[in-house]
A and B are shown apart, each in its own frame.
Chain A
Amino acid sequence: MLEIKNLHVSVDHNPILKGLNLKVNKGEIHAIMGPNGSGKSTLASVIAGREEYKIDKGSILFFNKELSELSADERAKKGIFLAFQYPVEIPGVSTTNFIKTAVNQIRQSKGKKPLDAVSFLKIMKEKMKLVEIKQTLLSRSINEGFSGGEKKKNEIFQMAMLEPELAILDETDSGLDIDALKIVANGVNKLKSKNNATILVTHYQRLLDYIIPDFVHVLIDGKIVKSGDKNLALELEEKGYDWIKVNN
C-alpha cells in the first residue's frame, strides 16, 4: 500500500528525514517510535502533503502512485487520513458541517452523489458510538473549546466517517487520560480491517498496550534504525532510546 524509499525531507533548509525507508501493507499496524525531534511528526505531515515540508530526495508511493505529485486534498481523496497531534479550531464551523463537506467532496471525487441529510445523520449516529462522542459536541464549532480528550476523540470520529485506507495517528495518545486513551484505542481497533492500514506515531509504549502493532520502528535522527515486533516497544520502554543510540 505505502512504500517509502530513501526519503530525504527538509524544512527551511534543515534536513529532518535523512534516508527513510518504510513499507506498509494492507491489514498492518505500524508503530513509529522515537525521541523528540527525531522526525516522527515530519513523516506524518509529509505523507499527508503539508507543503512546508520539502522532499529533497526519494519517493513515497501509495498504491504504486507517487504521492508528491498530489495535493493534500487529493491525497485525502485517495484514502490517506491524518489524525492531528494538535487538531485545529475553525470558529463558526460545526464538526457536523465540516465532516459533511469532507464526506461529500470525497464522494464527489469518486463520482458518487452527495449524501442527503438523513443518510448522513444515520451514518454519523453509528460512528459516534465508536468513540463515545456526543451529538452536542458535534454541533459546536469544530475543536473550539474542546478538551484534549474531546479533540482526539473527534479526530477518530472523523476517521470513522471517512473510512481511509491508510490512517496516520500523530501522537494521538498525548494529553489523554487513561479512560480517554482506552476509548480512542478501542475506536481505532474497531476500525481496523484487512483492507486498511494504520501508522501510529508515538512517544510512549503506553498506547501500544491497547493497540497492538504488527511492527515497531525506531526513528532516530531522520532514519529508521531498528525494526521489530511489539516486544521492541517494551524493550525501549525499559532501556530508553539511548540503548539504541549506543548500539548504533
Chain B
Amino acid sequence: MNKDDKILKEFTSKEYEHGWSVDLDVDQAPNGLNEYIVKFISKKKKEPQWLLDWRLNAFNVFKKMKEPNWANLNIPKIDFQGISYYSAPKQKSKLNSLDDVDPELLKTFERLGISLQEQKRLSGVAIDAVIDSVSIGTTFKDKLRKLGIIFSSFSEAVIEHPELVKKYLGTIVPSNDNYFAALNSAVFSDGSFCYIPKGVRCPMELSTYFRINAENTGQFERTLIVADDNSYVSYLEGCTAPMRDENQLHAAVVEIFAGKDAEVKYSTIQNWYPGNKEGVGGIFNFVTKRGICFGDNSKISWTQVETGSAITWKYPSCILKGNYSKGEFYSVAVTNNYQQADTGTKMIHIGKNTKSKIISKGISAGFSQNSYRGQVKVMKRASKSRNFSQCDSLLLGNKCGAHTFPYIDVENKSSMVEHEATTSKIGEDQIFYCLQRGIDEENAVALIVNGYAKEVLNQLPMEFSVEAQKLLSLTLEGSVG
C-alpha cells in the first residue's frame, strides 16, 4: 500500500460522530404520500384553510412532475411511498417554556453540543431546534421580540403572524419551481421563520439546528427569512442525523427576502449522516435555497460547509433584482467514501450595477464524486453588472472525481463576468514538508485542507468557523493526494 492510500484509508475510516439515535416517544404519520397525508400534516399543525389549499395545490403540481436527472448524480430510485412524512416527539401539551420540554429531547441537543438552556448560552446565539418534523424550542425569543424581531418555528409563525407568512411564502421559491420544492411545499412540517423589521440590526446570530431522529422519516423543513428595509441579520443552520442503513430523505426549502439596504448572511454547516464506508445508508439531501435582493443596495450572502449526506443536490441562489444589490456564495463541499455532491449556485442579475461573487472549494476523497454547478445570468437591463467566480477542486487520492459545470449567460455589453477554475491534488511534497517539520500526518492534512478552504471558512461567524475547521479535519482526517 503506498503512502497516499495509507493516509486515505486512515481518513476514510473515521466514524461519523453524530451517528447515535435516541428512543423518543413519537407521534408519526403512516408511511406513504397522498392527499390524506397532506391533510393529516396540516391538521396536526392546526393550519388555516389557505395554507392547506396551498399545500394541496403544491401536491397536485408535484404529482405531475418528474424527478430531475440533469445533475451529475447517481440517485437510486426513491420510494416516496415508503417514507413517513410526519414524525414528532410526543409532548404532553403545549409548551410554555423550555422547562416543559421533554428532558430526553434536551439531552439530545446537549449531546450535539447545543444547549437550549438560555442561561448557558454565553455566545449570544438564539437557537431554534428542529427534531424530525417539529421545532422543539426557540431560545432568546423575548429578548428579540423587544426589538420587533420575530424568530420562531414556522408552525408558530403561521398561527401568530399569518399575514407575514402569507405575504412571502412561495414568492421566492414557488411550489412549481422544481420537483423537490413541490414535494416540500406539499408536506413541509416545520422550520424556522424570521422577520427583521425596518432599520433593525439583529444583535445576535440566529441559529436553527436540524436533527433527523426517527427511522424512515423524511425531513422537509421550510425556512423563511424576511429582512425588511435597512435591516441586518446573520443566520446559521446546522444539521445532523443518526446512522441508519436505509437512506433517509431530506428536502428543504429556504426563502430569503431582503428589502432596500438590507443584508442577510446565511451560513450552513451541513453534517447529515453520509452513509458508511461502503456507501450504505446516509441522507439524500435535496435542497432549494434561494434569496431575493428585492430592494436597491441589498445584499444576500450564502456560506456553506457541506461535509455530510450520501447525496447532496443544492444550489443556494440569489436573484439580484434591486439596483446595486449584491449576492455572494462561499462554499466548501467535502465528499469522502461513496458520497456524491452536486452543488453550486445561481446568480441572476436583473437590477443595474448588481454584483455577485462565487467562491467554491470542492474537496473529494475516497470514491466520491464532487461537482460544482453554477449559473451566472445577466439580464439585458442589468447594465454594468459584475460577477466573479472561482471554483477550485482538491483531490485526495485517485479514485475520486471533481467536476465543474459553469453556465454563463450575459445579455448586455456593459457587464463583466470572470470565471476561474483550478484542480489540484494535495501533493506528497506538501505532506512531507509538514512531516519534516515534526507535524504528524493527521495534522498535516488538516492544515493543508483548512488552508485551502480558508477563504470560505473566514466568512463564517467566529465560533462556527472553529467548528467547521474541526469538522473538515474530522471528515478527512489525514487526507492527501
- Using a CB–CB cutoff of 8 Å, the interface residues on chain A facing chain B are 48-51, 71-73, 76-77, 81-82, 84, 87-93, 97-99, 101-102, 105-106, 109, 141, 158, 162
Contact = CB atoms under 8 A, between A and B. Distances in A.
A81 B433 CA distance: 11
Nearest to B426: A90
10 contacts: A48-B436, A73-B434, A73-B440, A84-B433, A88-B429, A88-B432, A90-B434, A92-B453, A105-B440, A141-B451
Contacts of B432: 50, 72, 88
A102 B433 CA distance: 11
Contact of B438 (A50, A92, A102): A102
A88 B3 contact: no
A84 to B, nearest CB: 7
Contacts of B437: 76, 98-99, 102, 158, 162
Interface string B303-315: 0000000000000
B435 A73 contact: yes
Contacts, number: 73
Contacts of A81: 436
Most buried by A among B3, B430, B438: B438
**Which one of B430, B437, B441, B454 has the greatest number of beta carbons of chain A within 10 Å?**
B437
A49 B438 contact: no
B433 A92 contact: no
A101 B453 CA distance: 18
A114 to B, nearest CB: 12
B433 A73 contact: no
Interface residues of B, number: 23
B6 to A, nearest CB: 10
B237 interface: no
Interface stretch (B104-112, B405-413, B442-450): B442-450
A105 B443 CA distance: 9
Instruction: Enumerate the 8 nearest inter-chain pairs by beta-carbon distance, A residue then B residue, closest first.
Output: A92-B451, A93-B451, A76-B438, A102-B437, A72-B435, A92-B454, A88-B433, A106-B438
B427 interface: yes
Nearest to A168: B436
Contacts of A76: 435-438
A71 B441 CA distance: 10
B427 A109 contact: no
Nearest to A50: B432
Contact of B447 (A50, A72, A101): A101
Given A84-B433, A87-B433, A88-B429, A102 B439 contact: yes
Contacts of A91: 451-452
Contacts of B438: 73, 76-77, 102, 105-106, 109, 162
Contacts of B439: 73, 101-102, 105
B443 A101 contact: yes
Nearest to B433: A88
